[in-house]
Each structure stands twice: as structure tokens, then as C-alpha cells.
Structure 1
Amino acid sequence: MQYRNIIRILGLLVALLSVTMLPPAVVSLIYRDGGGVPFLMAFMWCLFIGLALWYPNRRKKYDLRAREGFLIVVLFWTVLASFSAIPLMLLETPNLTTTDAFFESFSGLTTTGATILTQIDGLPHAVLFYRQQLQWLGGMGIIVLAVAVLPMLGIGGMQLYRAETPGPVKDSKMTPRIADTAKHLWYIYLSLTIACAVAYWLAGMSVFDAICHSFSTIAIGGFSTHDASMGYFNSPVINLICVVFLIIAGINFALHYAAVQNKSIRNYFADPEFKFFITLQVILTAICFTVLMSHNTYQSADVALDQALFQSVSISTTAGFATTSFADWPTLLPLLLIFASFIGGCAGSTGGGMKVVRVVLLYLQGVRELNKLVHPKAVFTIKLGRKALPDRVIEAVWGFFSAYAAVFVICMLLLLASGMDDISAFTAVAACMNNLGPGLGEVAANFASINDFSKWVLIVAMLFGRLEIFTLLVLFTPAFWRN
């Protein structure tokens, strides 16, 4: 294992992370809210430690193997999220414990959106901006930006990209060079963020709110600058803009790239994962609208449709924005939406969950097994679109599902052991592993009231969800550490 090479890379990444502490300090100067000093101190700490890790190992440059790639990705999210907690620990307002600072930091960088903060409206602008910025940086994965930059410093990126990029098929690249792939992904990501911010601003948000919410929308994060989340604005137009961009961000970015390159949207409609994703949003919205109308939850059909559409898309894409407390809806709907978050967004998107393509493959495999029962001697192949998939892909999906279920159960049992009630424990783990944010019961509004042990369990669940189980789980196998 190339430990000194790994330390060198982490040192560079921590030094790069220090730069992200400066924008909140600038925001603090603009709004004169006095919240910039902790970010300047954090900048100096991160820069010093990053250079201290890098300098002694600066000449240890070697080609990365797959094992180093997995280890760096895990250390990347763990170390950088930990360093991102430094300014939160230094703040006077809010005054956070170490556990709370780590929880908020990991939740932001993994785009989970679960928060321990209350009275968010009264926080300094620097803190509000920093939380949103964490989600934006974590949305596509800062690692993808890193592999676009680090090759210039002598660090190859293919192993990192394969380890971090979500989805069951990880060997495909949109361009011949991985650095070009990462750059194109970020061009698209940045363009969507700017378009979203402009749309929010034109719809009535302030410039600050528009920028902050565009960060968390494109990242499918869910953090907001207000306690009432999107409900603060009370605007159907803003809700619709949010829905549109959440759906765009929930689609595989490779399809966006193909649409830009080919100047055509045909690729979207030829993709089976996209069609299932859109169909799911329509079905969820229709169910929520029908149930809300039948229970007379809202006085008019327009309001019911607005709320049904927004909450369905927000929860199922794992964003977790809210316009109302969906936990107060008829019992069927909150549970339905929580279960929908297990599906999440498409592979290669900023959404969480197990990813749509995996669920589609699990369904197709189930159908194949039923057909085999009827026709035992027949040979059935599983096709995604017109492409037949090898059994190795199906086995990998089943393996992922099994590992996901096992980690979920273990985390939930630990929360139950800590004294949390069953509904809160189940939905808290679902919210964190799916990178969703809000749950039900004790964690419906925020996670401030749960004990520190539960918060650390959920931090681990966030990492498992963000790294899609195997990337983190492989580190616990003896074979990984053998030479």
C-alpha cells in the first residue's frame, strides 16, 4: 500500500479544501454579521495541516492502483468532512458541540441534508452560506473536481473516478481522458447551478437565497437558509422551479453530456432508467394528490397538486426540501415517500438512494426467476433497453442490495439500542443512508434531540450511503490489506 503517496494526496486535498473557507468569510464582510473570523482561522489551520502532510511526501509520486483509489476516496470523505467541521466548532453562534459540528459537516458534504440546527433564520450569513456550499461541493463529489485538477500535479485519476462515481457500471467514460470527463461533468454542474440561481432570483428570491438554494437544489442536498425550508417563500412558482431542477439533477449526468454534445434530447427517451425515473415521479405525484384530495387536506385542488408534486419529487429524489410538514399528511403518504427515497435518483446523478437502475435490474431479475419457474429449461436474458446484460452485473446488484440491507439493519438496531423509538430509528437510518434528510417521529423536523451515540451511528450511515456501501465496506475485508 502506497501510504506516503496517499498522505501526499490527502495533504493536497486538505490544502485545496482550505480555499473553500474563504467565500463564507467574504460573505460575512458583505453582510457585516461578524461570523467570518472562525472561517479565516479554519482556513489557516487547514492550509497549514495540508501543507504539513504534503511537503515531506511531495516526491512520492506513483501510479495509483485500485486499492489505493478506494482507500483515498474513503479517507477523502472522512478527512475532508472532519476538517470541514473546524469552522463550525469555532463558531460562537451557533455554539455547537464537537458531535453536532461533525454531524452537520458530514450531513452537508454527503448531501444528506439532516440538520441539528434550529432557529436557522437567525444564523450569520457566513454560516448559512457555508452549509449550502458544503452541499454543492459534495453534490457531484469534490473528488471529481480533484481528478480534473490533480493530474497536473502528477496524480492519475482513473482509479479515484471508478471508486467514487455512483452506479453499477463504472468503467465507461464520456471522453477518452478522465480529467476531461471530470471537467465536462463540472461544466454541466456549474451551468445548471447558475441557471437555477437565476430562475430562483427571477421568481422572487433574494440574490443570497437564490444562490444558496441553487447550491442545495442541484446537489440534491436539502439544506435551506430558513427553518421553514422552501415553505418560507410560499410561492408555487419557486416550488415548480425547484421540482424542475431536482428532476434534472436526478438524471444521469452522462445523458446531459450526450444531449449537449449531440444537440439532441433523443438519448433521454432511449434510456430505460430515465423513463422509469420520470414514470415514478408521475405515479408518486398522482397517488399523493389523490390521497390529499380524498382526505380534504387542502381546500383547493391547485394547492393539493402543488404540495403533492413538490413533496413527491423532493423526497423521492432524496433532496428533502419541505413546503409543509409531510409527516402530518395521512399516514400512507409519509411512509410511501420514505420508501420511494430508497430508489433515489439515477446512477451518475447527484441523488442518493440505491439508484433507479439497480431497482430496475432487481425487478427484471425477479421477473426472470418467475419465468424460470414456469419454463425451467428456457434461457432468459435480462436486457436494459436493447442491451443484454451479463450475469456478473446482476450478481453485483444483488450483492449491493444484500450489503445495503445488512448495513441498514445493523444501524437501525444500534439506534433502537440507544433508546430511540422504532419509527424514528427506521426513518432516521433511511434518511441518512439514502442521503435524504428528514425522517418521521423524533427526527421529522431535525436531529437535535437525539443522543450523541445515535448521531455518530448516523454519520457512519451517511458515509455508507454516499460511498454506495461497497467502497467503504471493502476496507473491512482482510483481502484488501494483503500485499
Structure 2
Amino acid sequence: MNHGPILRAIGNVQLLSSLLVVPPLTLSLYDRDGATLAFFDSFVILLTVGLALFLPTRRAQGELRLRDGFLVTTSVWIITSAVLAIPLVIAPPQLGYIEALFEVVSGLTTTGSTVIVGLDALPRSVLLYRALLQFYGGLGIVVLAVAILPSLRVGGLQLTKGEVTGPMKNNKLTPRIRDTAAALWVIYVGLNIACILAYWAAGMNFFDALCHGFTTVATSGFSNHDASLGYFESPVIEVIAIVFMLLGSASFALHFVAWRHGSALVYAEDGEFRTLIRIALFLSLFVAVELWWQGMYVGFGDNFRHAAFQVVSGLTTTGYTTTGFAHWPGMAPALVVLAAFVGGCAGSTAGGIKVVRVQIVAKLARRELMRLVHPHGRFPVKLNRSMVGDEMITTVAAFVTVFCVSLIVSALAIAATGVDLFTAFAAAASCITNLGPGLGGVALHFQDLNDGALMISALTMLIGRLEVFTVLVLLTPALWRE
């Protein structure tokens, strides 16, 4: 194990994370809201930890090996979350440490589950802090470190192998991995600016537009209001949210190609993105018809409006709400949550299994059915008119299996803490897909869960955000053998 490069990488990210506290610290000073000391303490601790790890190892030689990259990826999330939880303990809402840690992990993993009730009464600095956590986690704090810190003289490929999501994560957009990360972040920031301006033009005040812009493109779902986007009661704002939730759940590699070629036609040519849109349209219509049939809202238009918003919010794993969808009749609530299992495209900020994996599994199932009918036939699995190799098929099948097993284990572990089984499965599903809101006892918030259930939920969010294997591989003895 290369201790020097590992510690330097972790230290660099802690130094970068300290900058995350500066905007809410500045706003707290301006508003005199009593949260200044909390943010200052967190800033000092992050700076101290970062310098303590970086300075002694700044001249350390060597590259990160594969196992080192996995260790750094997971360690960075855990250490950063542990320190960034401090402001929420000291400042309003003055959570217990486990609750604060859950809230921060939820933010950094772009899950959007919350233990806070009374968001409308919180200081602006705390609301900005929550939004920045999700902005920061949107494309991955490890990728951010590779993009912004050129002084991080370690193998960037191993880091991004652990952080970039989806089965296509080894594809490079530029010859150097650091340039790739920087290009992705330029696009990410550009989408955030466009979303903020659109919200502002639609009637949000600038502060709400800023915070919701951060959490929309990150497909994360934290809001400044308990009623989420339903607070604004604006169809225009909901349409803007739908557009940018879908853009956030599209592959950033696709955004890069569209930007480089100056053409939006690449979106129409991409099979995964087309499938995402088809799923969104089909589920929106299906749920709208069910709501209309049950007489949930007046007129088909209102039913489609609420159905489309909640389906897209679920499919992209954003988790915004405009209505209490958990109380919808029939199968509509379950469809919103199940959509999150599909998730967005590979290489996006969305969670879930990812559309491309679902495509491959569906084609694999079809192939096996055809083999039953024609035992001697050959039925290749194709994606975008290209053959999918057996190694990729095996990897995807293994991922989906381990994803489902992780969900079951997490749900049973939460239930073992005393939570009822339905709520336990709803919480586990919400966390592993990075959706945010769930059903049952976690339909609105996670405040009623005990500390043990919150810790398990936080770990489940981390496993979901880092796509299962990145975390679980650390438990494999073979990884640590010389």
C-alpha cells in the first residue's frame, strides 16, 4: 500500500472541502444568524486535517494502485462527511451527531433524504450549506479533486474508476483523465448556472433559485421548504425542474459530445437517453391515467402535471415533491419508487441501477427466452447497434444481483433496529437508489428513525452512490494480498 500518495490525496480533498464552508460562513456573518462559529469550527478542522495529511506527504513518490484508489474513494467520503456534520450539530437545527452525519451523507451522495422538519425557519446559511453539499457531491468529490487540484500527483485513473458511475466508466473523453474531469465540471457548472437563471426568471427569489439550481442539476432534491417545490405552486417552475432533472440524469459524456460538436442531435441518437425519455413518458401517462381514473385531481391536465413531475423526480432519483405522492391511490406510489431503481443514464449525477444496465438485463432476458425456443440459435446482445461482450454482460448481471442483495440486507438490518418491515424496506430502497423520499414511515422525512437505523441508512446511501462494488470490494481479502 502506498501510504504517502493515499494520505496526500485524502488531505488534498479535505483542503478542498474546507472551501465548501466559506460561502455559508460568509452569509452567516452577513445575516448574523448565530451559525458563524459552527461553520468556522468546521472550516478550521477541515483545514487542519487537510494540512496534517498533506504537508508530511507532499513529496511522497509513487502512483496509486487499483486497491489504493478504492480505499481513497471510500475514505474521502467517510472522513469528509464526519467533519462536515459539525455545523449541523452546533448551529440550528442543532441535530444529534448521528442525525447530522446522516444529513451530510444524504447531501454528498445526492440522496436528499432529511431528518430536518421546519426547513422554512432555518437560517439562510444552513440552507445554503445543505444545497452546496449536494452541488459538491453532484459529480463526485473525488472527480472534483482530480479536476481542480493539479498538484494531486497521483494516478487519477484509479480514483475516477471508483467514482464515475455506470458500466461505461472506463471510457475517456480526453487523453488525460484530469482534463476529462475538468471538462465534465465545466459542463456541470454551466448547467447549474442555466438552471439558476431559469428558476429566477420563473419567479423564485434569487436565494431559492440558487439553492434549488444546485440541487436540481445534481438530481439530489434538498429544498429550502418543507413542501419542496410544491411550495411555489408554479407549473412553469415544475417544467423547468423536469427539464434540468432530465439533463442532470443524462450522461455527462453525452453532454460533452453535444458541446464539442455544437449539436443537440447527439441526444436523439443516443439509445440510453432515448430509453430514459420513453420510460418517463410511458410511466407519466400510466400514472396520470390511474390518478384520473381514481379522481385524484380535477381534469386530466392536473393529473398529468403531478404524475409527470413525480415520475421524472423518481426516475432521475431527484426526490422533489409537489404533492404527497405516497398517499396516491393504487400502484402509483410504488411506480414512482420503482422508477428510481431504473435511475438515470450511466455517467450522470442520478442514482439507481442505470438505464444502460436495465437495457442489457432486458436484452439478456430476451436472449435466454429465445434460446429456450431455439436451443441451437445464436442471439447476440446488442446496444446502440454494437455487440455487448460476455464480460460486460457478466459484470452487469453481477452488479444487479449484488445491488438487490444489498437492498435486502440493508432493509433487514434497519428492521432489526425496531423499525417496521415496510418502512425498513422503503428506507433501504430510498437510500440505495439515492431517491430521497420513500413510502410508509419515511414518506416525508427520516426524523422518526432511531440512530441505528440512520447509520445503516447512511451506509446504504454511500453504497448506492459509489455503485456497490467500490465499497464492498474493500471487504475482499484478496484485494489486500501483496
Same fold (TM > 0.5): yes
1:61: how far off?
2.8
AA paired with 2:158? Q
1:214: how far off?
0.3
- Going from structure 1 to structure 2, the CA distance change for 1:266 and 1:473 (only over 3 Å counts) comes to same
On the 8 A contact 2:433/2:464 being kept in 1, the answer is: yes
In 2: Cα distance, 1:389 partner to 1:178 partner = 25
In 2: Cα distance, 1:426 partner to 1:367 partner = 29
Aligned pairs for 1:356-371 (under 5 A) are: 356-371=355-370
* Superposed CA offset, 1:28-62 (max 9, x none): 23333232221112111110121112222222131
The corresponding residue for 1:252 is: 251
1:387: how far off?
0.5
AA paired with 1:77? W
1:177: how far off?
1.0
The corresponding residue for 2:26 is: 26
In 2: Cα distance, 1:41 partner to 1:99 partner = 18
In 1: Cα distance, 2:360 partner to 2:36 partner = 48
Instruction: Tell me whether 420-429 or 394-403 shows the greater mean CA deviation.
Output: 420-429
The corresponding residue for 2:188 is: 189
1:478: how far off?
0.7
* Superposed CA offset, 1:175-201 (max 9, x none): 111111111101110000000000000
Aligned pairs for 1:126-145 (under 5 A) are: 126-145=125-144
On the 8 A contact 2:196/2:212 being kept in 1, the answer is: yes
AA paired with 2:161? R
1:229: how far off?
0.4
* Superposed CA offset, 1:189-246 (max 9, x none): 0000000000000000000000000000000001000010001101000011000100
On the 8 A contact 1:289/1:304 being kept in 2, the answer is: yes
Provide the aligned C-alpha RMSD in A.
1.1
Which blocks of at least 5 consecutive residues in structure 2 are unaligned? none
* Superposed CA offset, 1:159-182 (max 9, x none): 111221101122211111111111
The corresponding residue for 2:74 is: 74
In 1: Cα distance, 2:205 partner to 2:36 partner = 21
AA paired with 1:103? F
AA paired with 2:300? A
Q: Does 1:454 align with 2:453?
A: yes
Aligned pairs for 1:402-481 (under 5 A) are: 402-481=401-480
Instruction: Tell me whether 44-53 or 361-370 shows the greater mean CA deviation.
Output: 44-53
In 2: Cα distance, 1:153 partner to 1:180 partner = 13
In 1: Cα distance, 2:310 partner to 2:331 partner = 14
Q: Does 1:201 align with 2:200?
A: yes
Give the TM-score of the pair, scaled to structure 1. 0.98
Q: Secondary structure at the match of 1:155?
A: coil
Give the TM-score of the pair, scaled to structure 2. 0.98
Identical counterparts, % of pairs: 46
On the 8 A contact 1:150/1:157 being kept in 2, the answer is: no
1:249: how far off?
0.7
On the 8 A contact 1:147/1:156 being kept in 2, the answer is: no
On the 8 A contact 1:320/1:438 being kept in 2, the answer is: yes
On the 8 A contact 2:217/2:244 being kept in 1, the answer is: yes
In 1: Cα distance, 2:471 partner to 2:380 partner = 31
The corresponding residue for 1:314 is: 313
Which blocks of at least 5 consecutive residues in structure 1 are unaligned? none
Q: Does 1:111 align with 2:113?
A: no
On the 8 A contact 1:151/1:157 being kept in 2, the answer is: no
Q: Report the number of matched residues.
A: 482
In 2: Cα distance, 1:445 partner to 1:381 partner = 45
